[in-house]
Amino acid sequence: MDIYLVYVVCALLLLVGVKYAGIKKFNDDYLSLDASKAIQGFAAIVIIFHHISQRVSQDGSIQTPINFFVNIGAYCVAIFFFCSGYGLIKSKDKKEGYMKSFLWKRLVVLLLPFFVINGFYVLVAQIFMKANFSPFTIFSYVVGLKLVTGDGWYVITSLIMYIAFFLFFRFINKKFEWIAFVGMFLMVPLYVVLCLSKGHGDGSNLFQGEWFYNTVLLMPIGMVWARLENKLVPLIKKVYWILLPVFGALTFFTYKWSMEVLSNPGYWSEYMHPGDPRYGDKLLCYGAQSLAFICFILFLVLLLMKVRINNKVLAFLGGLTLEIYLSQRFFISNILPMYNNKDGIFIGIFAIVCSSVVLAYLFHVLCGLVINPIKKLGSKKPAVDKTKK
């Protein structure tokens, strides 16, 4: 079946241009901006495959050749949050004046594409699907009070964590920075409790669903890694060939265990026990997934210390991850039904990926025309790279 070509695409994206550091050498810039963008670009494509596999297999209830991707999407989002946390601390340390204008610039970069893409979905629904939204409904969808697609949860969660980061690291003295780190970690259980109290919904309401919170722990973990990196990496290099197989095995076994827990009892067990929210079941699933995500990320970091993923395609995709994430649902909903359960489905998948990337690029260019001028409105003095003084 041509659907197996999905795995060929993944292999080519990863292996073309890959460079091995050598037995006794390491990539000291293993999480540089270019390196992290490349891996995030790959993760964005895998997330498209993840959402397609959910549709094709009906959330895993039907066995298909791409069922592997059904439960892999959260691992890709964990990469996003880890790299985000890591990058926040590195930028804070590297750029003088970074925190003063951080919130305004970060919100512009995050929210402008979100608003524009939401507006696109609403416009298409109004014109081609004959939707009759009220002005308030249109406003709610565009600004994210309600989610026009479930994928907007990522923006909402990121927004909350960015605000927390700004408050903790902008106003807490450098001498007491550990308090800011503790604060970021305390934000996670508070956010989890908020989402747990909301239960599940149809995907349009905020904070309903485990996807809102099950990967967010990786952001403060990425921040801690960035802060302790200079102390940890020399130690890791000494026992690297012990740690690599250990975390490889841990990644495998924690993944298998988390899959068992997700199957029984699962996050959605309240539907089998009407009137009982089953918070204990959800916390068990959350704990199992968190452990699996942490082991996976640490294993990935170890791999990146030796192997550089380096090709122009991933470099390009790495600059479009947010736009791809928010755009791909449109094409999955409109193209996949024409190919689902038919021969030649890979053609449909290929069309979805290409269309998502093209639309994401158009949104990126459109938003880019106004992002920089808007960013300047919130900053009288731009951040300066301390290393270039």
Residue that is written with structure tokens 């503790």 in the block: 182
Whole-number pLDDT of residue 372: 84
Per-residue pLDDT tens for 196-223? 999 999 899 999 999 999 999 999 999 9
Domain range summary for the chain, segments of one domain joined by +: 1-20+29-71+313-379
Q: Say whether pLDDT at 388 is over 70.
A: no
Query: What DSSP character marks residue 121?
Result: H
One-letter amino acid for residue 323 of the chain: E
Per-residue pLDDT tens for 250-277? 999 999 999 999 999 999 999 999 999 9
Residue 256, class by beta-carbon neighbours within 10 Å (0-12 exposed, 13-18 middle, 19+ buried)? exposed
- Range 306-310 average pLDDT: 92
Residue 332: pLDDT band with limits 50, 70, 90 = very high
Distance between alpha carbon 271 and the CA centroid of its chain, in Å?
A: 28
**pTM score over 0.75:** yes
- Range 127-143 average pLDDT: 94
Q: Say whether pLDDT at 1 is over 90.
A: no
Per-residue pLDDT tens for 7-33? 999 999 999 999 999 999 999 999 999
- 166, containing H or E segment: helix 153-171
Whole-number pLDDT of residue 19: 94
* Distance in angstroms (rounded) separating the CA atoms of residues 238 and 274: 54
* Distance in angstroms (rounded) separating the CA atoms of residues 227 and 89: 7
